Structure 1
Amino acid sequence: MRPRAPRHRRRAIGNPDRARETQRRKNTTETQRHREKQTRRSLSTQCGRRGALYLRVSVVDFLCVLSGLCVCPTSSTVPHDRLVISFRRHMPSFFRVLRVSCVVCALSVASRAAAQDLFEIQVYPYETVAPGVTMFEFHTNFTPSGSKGVEDGVYGNNRQFHETLEITHGWTKNFETGFYIETAPYVPGIGAKFTGWHVRPRFSFPEFKQFPFHVSLSFEYAFTQPGFDVNRQSLEIRPIFEREQGRLYLSINPDLSVPTKGPEAGSAPAFEPNFKVGWNFTEHVNAGIEYYAETGTVKRFDPLGDEHHILFGAADLNVSPDWELNFGVGKGLTGTSEQWILKAIIGYRFRHGGEKP
């Protein structure tokens, strides 16, 4: 006796149309599974690049909550690499400027993947040093938890102690020159090291009521010793955009850094944005956040694992026009960032024939 076919096959054999329909459904299911597999693979390869965008969006979300901006980057009906921004029609003009500036700065960040500069952690203000005034500043930074080992000839920052002396002299109302001496009094397993020096001219532009920001421009040329940067010399171009509205303070520094001598000389400029948002809680205390990032070259974003994002809680103490006091605690937001950083800036203005405060 011929063996009987299974029940499901008996039905298909007895009806050729049904057999073809069954085969068509099977082929359709296999095609859908193949497409889903390809989609998952494609998303996996893109997660590094898009992860950087998600991180930047999260920082923007925090800032924009302060100013009333609604950001919906994870909407199911909108691609993940776009932002849906809803502006309130009657918000003050400054808040609209703040929101647009934060979004542009966060979405356009791109700089080379290198060890983060932890010798001068500062968001520059618009105002230059007054003519005839010389300002001495000490930048003190300590990294209790950071990168370890040696990578590309650069020491890890873990438990490093940095001390930088900055001397700035005002020549005119709109021009100053700064000079930096950078040292590392303690590098684990190495000891004390002289790390380099910088020179920095800076110009401030006249204020225009029609433009929402006060603008100045800094040029800084750095000479760095081996072990603290992969490049020996570099040029930093730093535009400064500052705005004050009532108690609210905002400064944006979208840095461009160009290596001029070293293995990266001739490569695309680095874009190292940082910004500061502060609030005058009292006449003498302004506190808020400072943000610093390195995320890839201007031509190409790096994977999230190679980026640096650090967020500081910081405060300025305005005890006197002659003193500058800034203190902060920073937390790295990505794996390669220094996880914890303590910083302090203590400065004093010496007036010899210059403008009175």
Structure 2
Amino acid sequence: MRAFLLALLAAAGVVPAARAQDPFEIQVYDAETATPGEIGLETHLNSVLTGRRKTSPEGEAPTHRVFHATLEPHLGVTDFMELGMYLQSAVRPGFGYDWAGFKLRAKVRAPTSGWLKLGLNGEVSFIPKRFEAAGTGGELRPIAEGAFGPLTLGVNPIVGFTFDNGVHADLEPCARALMRLAPWLSAGAEYYSSLGPIDGLLPASEQVHRVFGVVELYSGHLDVNFGIGGGTGDESFLAKAILTVRP
């Protein structure tokens, strides 16, 4: 699989380079898509409790005590495809509210009916350089999800792209394990990472690895995911929440 990705990216003229984790959406995707005509809204909230206190060498603003908020409306267009977008903002200490760009995405799922569900999400992003030095980018996010009784496992082996001075690709896998404790409650853990260019991963000391403890609450029209965690990298301690509204 890795050899196939390298060959595909080489054919497209991709040049690897480092890319940071997305601070506006801390989520492991499931393989579900909205039904045709169905509208939904997710709100992503997170606070960097311990982050970078100075401007980065690339000109990115400090992240310490920054609050991120992202609105993600989506629409089901077929039985297996949905379209969505992200409207991003931040509140920065000493600055206040700040517009943080937008993304467009398409998500498809395979017509599987067994224990394994598969999907693929693709997106393009347009971000102010004070938040992401490259400015424009995107991702391809394969999705695999399996249910084993009350336990659900999911993995997203993300390939993230930036489009400054060519196309650069990084490997950013994430995964989760959730245990259903009640019809309205699950708990588990989520893992996020940024490993570096796909044809030459960074040394372990330069990679980013983060683990969150998470709780999910379910009701008829509103689901809530709450997590707190951290690890390596500039943003080492974070709290996050995802509110999902369904009609």
Shift of 1:190: 2.9
- Aligned-partner Cα distance in 2 for 1:346–1:188: 24
TM-score (norm 1): 0.62
**Aligned pair count?**
231
The answer to whether the 8 A contact 1:271-1:297 is kept is yes
> Which residue is equivalent to 2:157?
254
- Aligned-partner Cα distance in 1 for 2:94–2:206: 25
The answer to whether the 8 A contact 2:50-2:237 is kept is yes
> Which residue is equivalent to 2:235?
338
Question: Between Structure 1 and Structure 2, whose CA radius of gyration is higher?
Answer: 1
> Which residue is equivalent to 1:153?
59
Aligned pair partner of 1:217 in 104, 117, 120? 120
> Which residue is equivalent to 2:24?
119
RMSD: 1.6
Aligned pair partner of 2:184 in 259, 263, 284? 284
Shift of 1:170: 0.7
The answer to whether the 8 A contact 1:225-1:232 is kept is yes
> Which residue is equivalent to 1:104?
none
Shift of 1:156: 2.5
The answer to whether the 8 A contact 1:164-1:182 is kept is yes
The answer to whether the 8 A contact 2:140-2:160 is kept is yes
The answer to whether the 8 A contact 2:19-2:162 is kept is no
AA aligned opposite 1:217: L
Within a 5 Å distance, the mapping from 1:93-132 to structure 2 comes to 113-132=18-37
> Which residue is equivalent to 1:107?
none
Within a 5 Å distance, the mapping from 1:23-34 to structure 2 comes to none
- Aligned-partner Cα distance in 2 for 1:113–1:259: 9
Deviations 1:61-107 (A, max 9, x none): xxxxxxxxxxxxxxxxxxxxxxxxxxxxxxxxxxxxxxxxxxxxxxx
Q: Which of structures 1 and 2 has the larger relative contact order (alpha carbons within 8 angstroms, sep 6+)? A: 2
Shift of 1:112: 5.2
- Aligned-partner Cα distance in 2 for 1:123–1:135: 17
- Aligned-partner Cα distance in 2 for 1:273–1:310: 11
> Which residue is equivalent to 2:105?
200
> Which residue is equivalent to 2:167?
266
Name whichever structure is richer in strand by fraction. 2
- Aligned-partner Cα distance in 1 for 2:151–2:62: 36
Aligned pair partner of 1:238 in 115, 119, 141? 141
AA aligned opposite 1:266: V
Name whichever structure is richer in helix by fraction. 1
The answer to whether the 8 A contact 1:293-1:308 is kept is yes
- Secondary structure of the equivalent of 1:154? coil
- Aligned-partner Cα distance in 2 for 1:243–1:233: 33
Change over 3 Å in CA distance of 1:329–1:190 after alignment to 2: same
> Which residue is equivalent to 2:82?
176
Shift of 1:206: 0.6
Unpaired runs of at least 5, structure 1:
1-110, 351-357
Q: Percent identity?
A: 32
> Which residue is equivalent to 1:31?
none
> Which residue is equivalent to 2:7?
none
Shift of 1:324: 2.1
- Aligned-partner Cα distance in 2 for 1:323–1:192: 26
Deviations 1:125-158 (A, max 9, x none): 0111122211111111101111221111112321
Shift of 1:208: 5.2
Shift of 1:337: 4.1
Change over 3 Å in CA distance of 1:271–1:115 after alignment to 2: closer
- Secondary structure of the equivalent of 2:205? helix
Shift of 1:191: 2.5
- Runs of 4+ deviating beyond 4 Å: none
Shift of 1:295: 1.5
